[in-house]
């Protein structure tokens, strides 16, 4: 009966897999062993695997310096039997033993969600989402910088590549985490997913401006805005975890929701906490100042004062007309 020996790392992920048909397998750092190990705490001739007449495999320690261990870290004094699928240790080096009749796990079908997430890693999607982000930033610069500060356009535009590169940090962390756990990094899909979430947030922000304008900044518009950002974060973290882990779908969704609500907890707290009677912060009131007055391209102080004076004159004219009627 053949034996399969798997060499494991500290996370018990397989780094090597060997198959032998002989009844004795030598383990150690020496180059004439059947399985050559590189752990410095393993002796040159550390242990052997031997099969008896009944087909049972035994682990025999060869008076090693750091010892050999089987399940529950039981020390091997002479030799100990090993079951198929059992993990043993030579010092700190973990090995797993299988016989060739050991059942294998069922084949997993391709996941439609996983394939779509991996398809996001195409450069065309990354470029599309990056252009949406750049357009949002350019629009923000155009709306917030008055004519007197047009010389800052170049400075602000040069910050765009820095911003896009800064957003690469999160996908890079996830890719490193995946590689650390002996999984595919999926850096490009993670990057595209991050850009997609940011682009969705930008588009959602435009919609919320429109909604707030039509609802005069009501509490309903604020709740819808925060809820939308929360759902975008949930979708982002679900995709991140799907690409970076092998957790169950329920665990991925639970963690994603917990992190998303934690990230937006300040906004939710602001909406759900009743206003204090001692609060002196500014609050918008459409009866005093209409939204079109301050939504638009940035203005300097002189232009703002002129528009404000014009607004007062319009209000006074409307008041006089109502009195005459």
Same-domain check for residues 127 and 210: yes
Q: Domain of 159?
A: 112-272
Are 171 and 25 in the same domain?
no
Does the pTM of the predicted model rise above 0.95?
no
User: In what side-by-side order are the strands of the sheet with 35-36?
Assistant: 35-36, 24-28, 47-51, 57-61, 79-82
302 assigned to some structural domain: no
Task: State how far the Cα of 89 lies from the Cα of 74, in Å rounded to an integer.
Answer: 10
What total number of domains does the chain contain?
Answer: 2
Cβ atoms within 10 A of the Cβ of 68, count? Answer: 27
Q: What is the pLDDT along the chain (325 residues), one digit of tens a residue?
A: 789 999 999 888 899 999 999 999 999 999 999 999 999 999 999 999 999 988 899 999 999 999 999 987 889 988 999 999 999 999 999 999 999 889 988 887 877 888 888 898 999 999 999 999 989 888 887 777 766 666 777 777 888 888 889 999 999 999 998 888 778 889 999 999 999 999 999 999 989 888 877 776 678 888 999 999 999 999 999 999 999 888 888 999 999 999 999 999 998 888 887 766 666 655 555 555 665 665 656 566 777 778 778 878 887 888 788 777 6
Same domain, 145 and 266: yes
Residue 278 resides in a domain: no
For residues 59 and 195, membership in a common domain is answered with: no
Closest CA to 90 of 2, 7, 18: 7
Residues 154 and 238 in one domain: yes
Residue 279 lies in a domain: no
Q: What number of other Cβ atoms are within 10 A of residue 246's Cβ? A: 9
Same structural domain, 76 and 52: yes
The pairing of strands 68-70 and 57-61 is unpaired
Query: Measured at the alpha carbon of residue 316, what is the angle toward residues 314 and 319, in degrees to the nearest 5?
Result: 110
173 found inside a domain: yes
Answer yes or no: do 17 and 138 share one domain: no
Q: Are residues 58 and 116 in the same domain?
A: no
Nearest CA among 85, 67, 87 for reference residue 76: 67
- Structural domain includes residue 38: yes
Q: Are strands 24-28 and 35-36 parallel, antiparallel or unpaired?
A: parallel
pLDDT of residue 280: 61
53 and 119: one domain?
Answer: no
Domain assignment present for residue 253? The answer is: yes
- 46 Ramachandran zone, left/alpha/beta (phi>0; psi -120 to 50): alpha
Helix (H, G, I), strand (E, B) or coil at 25: strand
Single residue among 272, 287, 316 that ends a domain in this structure: 272
H-assigned helices in the chain: 112-119, 123-144, 153-166, 169-180, 187-214, 219-244, 249-263, 265-272, 291-294, 301-324
Can you give the three-state secondary structure of 166-227, one letter per residue? Answer: HCCHHHHHHHHHHHHCCCCCCHHHHHHHHHHHHHHHHHHHHHHHHHHHHCCCCHHHHHHHHH
Same domain, 160 and 95: no
Domain containing residue 8: CATH number: 2.60.200.20
Evaluate whether residue 47 is within a structural domain: yes
- Determine, yes or no, domain membership for 39: yes
Residues 83 and 189 occupy one common structural domain: no
Which among 253, 272, 291 is the end of a domain?
Answer: 272
189: Cβ–Cβ under 8 A, 6 or more apart, which residues? 117, 118, 119, 120, 121, 243
My answer on whether 135 and 53 are in the same domain is: no
Last residue of a domain, one of 43, 66, 99: 99
């Amino acid at each position: 009966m053949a034996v399969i020996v798997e060499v494991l790392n500290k996370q018990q992920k397989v780094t090597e897999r060997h198959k032998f048909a002989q009844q004795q397998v030598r383990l150690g750092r020496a180059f004439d062993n059947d399985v050559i190990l590189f752990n410095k705490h393993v002796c040159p001739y550390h242990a052997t695997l031997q099969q008896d007449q009944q087909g049972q495999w035994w682990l025999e320690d060869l008076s090693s310096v750091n010892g050999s261990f089987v399940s529950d870290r039981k020390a091997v004094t002479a030799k100990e039997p090993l079951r198929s699928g059992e993990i043993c240790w030579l010092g700190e080096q973990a090995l797993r033993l299988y016989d060739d009749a050991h059942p294998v796990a069922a084949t997993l079908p391709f996941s439609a969600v996983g394939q779509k997430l991996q398809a996001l890693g195409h450069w065309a999607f990354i470029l599309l989402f990056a252009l949406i982000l750049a357009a949002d930033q350019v629009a923000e610069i155009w709306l917030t910088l008055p004519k007197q500060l047009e010389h800052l356009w170049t400075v602000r535009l040069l910050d765009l590549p820095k911003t896009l590169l800064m957003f690469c940090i999160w996908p890079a962390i996830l890719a490193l985490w995946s590689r650390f756990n002996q999984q595919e990094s999926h850096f490009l899909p993670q990057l595209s997913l991050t850009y997609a979430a940011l682009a969705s947030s930008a588009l959602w922000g435009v919609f919320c401006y429109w909604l707030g304008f039509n609802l005069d900044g009501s509490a309903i518009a604020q709740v819808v805005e925060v809820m939308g950002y929360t759902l975008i974060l949930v979708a982002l973290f679900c995709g991140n975890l799907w690409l970076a882990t092998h957790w169950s779908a329920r665990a991925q969704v639970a963690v994603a929701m917990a992190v998303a609500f934690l990230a937006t907890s300040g906004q939710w707290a602001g909406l759900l906490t009743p206003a204090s009677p001692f609060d002196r912060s500014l609050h918008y009131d459409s009866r005093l100042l209409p939204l079109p007055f301050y939504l638009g391209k940035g203005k300097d102080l002189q232009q703002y004062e002129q528009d404000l004076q014009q607004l007062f004159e319009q209000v006074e004219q409307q008041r006089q007309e109502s009195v005459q009627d």
